[in-house]
Structure 1
């Protein structure tokens, strides 16, 4: 959408960037978080919405969609704020099939970057639903909405239930206002050689915000520092190649020093947003993207980390020997 903004919104990319900043102050800082809105910003936002954003909503999205929901994986805050500013709210949801579906987020109780607050438990028929965090930070659910068990799979049922509570396998933090933020799956947590617990999904999401990046897999359990396996988005790579005046196949471009230099700079920038023990010190760029066909991605495009580490672990281990 960003690459087509001039045609969709009848604004130059530079003007559109400036317009978004105005609208973020009105929609996010003002409307969503209760901040003070200047009359000039409000007037400008109304003009932008009527003459430009509406065109984007009509031409790119059909004009009838009022909001989106997102789930299954973290949504980039930058992308979320972009759509909120355009008048297309995105509600990040959290839920489980085993717990009757959606458990969090509702209109009027929104914090961008979180999955919102829990739904009121008393609304479930047959009793109250409870949600809590275990001492390890795992989301636990109990109530009439929780499954009785997996059909004819008692061992699997026993693995995810504890004293009547459903163990989600998801690690979260909750702020003083009750907004939940999912940090990672408990099985994905990396423990460094220094004993620090690292949630790789946040790091991976930060780096993959760039259009050049397709997949990021952070590595470093029991290591002194973190490294990463990087794959490139084919369209993003083609665009970056044109920008840099490069030619060649995916494999050839992935090996170019100019591409590595760009990724190096990108990771250095993202590292400034992370704690020292979360920073990525080195990386490998794979000469092809991960795929479902090769057994590295699930049908919903999630990385199968076990398979990836089995295939490419030696490449990552080499980074610790150089």
Structure 2
């Protein structure tokens, strides 16, 4: 059956001679047109006609996991097609009918618009498609019954091996987010807050110096900066304390999947809030005080 499948996928005009003995006659195979649209530019995980493209994975990220999953899925689909065409006496007609059947069954996943748009999010939901926005939402599906059966059917993983890999994914997620959160707290407490405080002190000294000359000397700019910087620093300090408390609490969670969900629901949003305040502080802190290179210096120096 592999030769029959090869004939279909490679566009050969005849089936192998060996299969003629099985009752499969010599037929002209259907000529399927390739997709010539530009869908791949609006897909985060693009299929370009003959291959999938992985869009800029992180330097520590391996494509091994999605690769073996994709290969297993394709192998399973081709096996199903081969089994249905195994006893065909009219390969052309049956292949065309099978393609129609498969497309009708799965056409809800086809979308030719912008995959990054809100339009597709709404459309996908109306079609009953999953919209998993984080790794933690996706990990539970690793051991769905249909996936375990798929892996077992092709001798990829048994249930114990699949569950072990799922646990590894959870643990890796927890460790990475924990390291990043601790690093963020370290940068805030040891670099950013002291640097901004030094700037506030110097601004305060400028105000005092001006007032020593005359109460009429204007210093609204320095006063406003002092107020804004001090308010932002207080907010940053308070939210850093909240993040620190979350990291202490997550250590009490025993189940690794629950810990991963806690990191996703609590720790990451807290980190995003800290990032927003820090970005604001960077825009109003004099460059010579800021402890890290600015985006401008990184780009243009």
Pairwise TM-score range, normalised by the shorter structure: under 0.3
* Greater percentage in helix: 2
Larger Rg: 2
Report the TM-score when normalising by structure 2: 0.23
* Greater percentage in strand: 1
- Which structure exhibits the higher relative contact order, with contacts defined as CA atoms closer than 8 Å and separated by 6 or more residues? 2
